[in-house]
Amino acid sequence: MEARLNYFGNSIAAKFMKYLGSAGKVVHDSTLPTATQELVKIRASQINGCAVCIDGHTKEAAHAGETSVRLNLVAAWREATVFTEAERAALELTEQGTRIADAAGGVTDEAWANAAKHYDEDQLAALVALIAIINSYNRLNVITQQPAGDYQVGQWG
């Protein structure tokens, strides 16, 4: 499979990716736990069918010490006992924030309140930003058919 667009071979795409990466760095540097960040990225990417993001984020999470059991259960997190209540709240917010078109009203008050029980305002801001950013990456990669499987840990910095 060959990508429809080389992000770094096109000046507009390269500039956009640079700015999106800068936005992601703000979240990366926040106090939102790194494990939570990776779980959110993986779950949104699973929902959106973004193979290249699943490839990269599962490898980064494993490299950071995430267990294969937890990585294998992200898609079925509701039935899994290996996630904290805070992680479960973040995953619920991720699903609702990713599936906006599937549910009238978007994110429920209950999902927001549950996340707010576990994360302070800065962490909530980072979580919301992360959900928006990973959904942007997912859409870019799915539209342009970016191939998956060859990601190397640390490849994108």
Higher per-residue pLDDT: 104 or 33: 33
Return the structure tokens found at 141.
Answer: 């990669």
Look at the pTM and tell me if it is higher than 0.75.
yes
Tens-place pLDDT, residues 6-20: 888 999 999 999 999
pLDDT tier, 111 (very low <50, low <70, confident <90, very high otherwise) = very high
Whether 96 and 110 have beta carbons less than 8 Å apart is answered as no
Give the integer Cα–Cα distance in Å for 6 and 128: 28
Kindly report the number of other CB atoms within 10 A of residue 14's CB atom: 12
Decide: residue 157, CB within 10 A, 0-12 exposed, 13-18 middle, 19+ buried.
exposed
Give the integer Cα–Cα distance in Å for 144 and 157: 22
The class level of CATH for 7-143 reads mainly alpha
Mean pLDDT of 23-44: 97
Tens-place pLDDT, residues 54-99: 999 999 999 999 999 999 999 999 999 999 999 999 999 999 999 9
DSSP 103: S
Domain positions in the chain are: 7-143
